[in-house]
Amino acid sequence: MRARAPLHHQVLPDGREFWSVTRYDDVCRVLGEHQRFTSERGTVVTHLGVDDVAAGTLLTSTDPPRHTLVRRAIGARLTARAVAPWRERIPERDWDELVQLTAMVTAPSDPHFRHGSEAATLAIAHHELVTYVKEWAARRRSAGGDDGSLLDHLMTVRVAGAPLTDEEIALDGYSILLGANVTTPHTVSGTVLALIERPEQFGKVQADPSLVPNLVEEGLRWTSAACNFMRYAVDDVRIAGGTIPARGAVVAWIGSANRDESQFADPHTFDVTRNASRQVAFGYGPHYCVGAPLARLTLRVFFKELLRRFGSLSSGGS
């Protein structure tokens, strides 16, 4: 599609439609030009055609300038400098127990927590989580105190002189938690699988652990855990040789951008020696993932520990 249809118009059986951009430069343009491509009608293609009820409140569904003010306050706690000391907060003596606890989550889903279909279970879980954080914020506001957590930090944020509401704290906290539970775990599993299938690449990192940062960036590029982001055109926009009409939905395909031959030589090869720092797994522009420094730290710690503990990797099943 990058070569033959860099702007592709897709009409679904129910009549809903969207435009896809697949080239690296076009993906960056859609994600970077918030004046032309808004986030405030929704950013998830599965909700295509349904305006986001949290628009202007949820950070991911808010455009600048409000987005900039809230993001700057949150991001101050998540810069590379700010998160670097967090690694030392976990005593090395606790790591074996953490590995065991992590292994437990690979078990099948507990039917006790299922409520009918997966979609119904997910909707209930989302509602319960947001409600929990809203109630926590109300209690904290009433009782006072500060444990140094990110949620406590959100309670100190001021936008145009006004504090965030409990709903805003809940939605932004939920957004951060959701992001942390998508990109990082999927990147870990996808990168480990790539290393299992290519033992010579694992051998290269074993022989030279300084390649771990490269491995992390290549893993992010290779897995592209957040496979796409959606925006809506504010006005008619010319892009990729075509036109997206005003109010048209446009989907920027991250996985395709991360395999664009114009940016990454031999893009369908997993190569731990590649400098893949231009990958856009964390997005691009104003909505570039605010937790990217923490995700990178987590991934680097994980793969360094993986190298320390295992001399080889193999799949445990199909």
Q: Cα separation of 219 and 271, whole Å?
A: 9
CA distance 299 to 301: 5
Label the pairing between strands 158-159 and 17-21. unpaired
pLDDT at 230: 96
- Three-state DSSP at 56 gives coil
**Would you list the domain boundaries of the chain?**
7-309
Q: What is the pLDDT of residue 317?
A: 63
Instruction: Judge whether 240 and 3 are in contact, CB under 8 Å.
Output: no
Alpha helices (H) in the chain, listed in sequence order? 24-32, 66-75, 80-83, 95-104, 118-143, 150-154, 166-180, 183-197, 199-207, 212-223, 254-257, 292-309
The fourth-level CATH superfamily of domain 7-309 is Cytochrome P450 (1.10.630.10)
How far, in Å, CA of 39 to CA of 16, rounded?
Answer: 18
pLDDT value, residue 113: 67
What residues are paired with 162 via a beta bridge? 159
Residue-level pLDDT, tens digit, the chain, 318 residues: 898 899 999 999 999 999 999 999 999 999 999 999 999 998 989 889 888 877 778 888 999 998 998 888 888 888 889 888 877 776 677 777 777 776 666 556 666 666 777 778 877 888 888 888 888 888 888 877 776 778 888 888 888 888 888 888 888 888 887 777 778 889 999 999 999 999 999 999 999 999 999 999 999 999 999 999 999 999 999 999 999 999 999 999 999 999 999 999 999 999 999 999 999 999 999 999 999 999 999 999 999 989 988 888 888 765
Contact predicate 230/46, CB 8 Å? no
The pLDDT of residue 110 is 65
Q: Distance from CA of residue 288 to its chain's centroid?
A: 9
3-state secondary structure of 21: strand
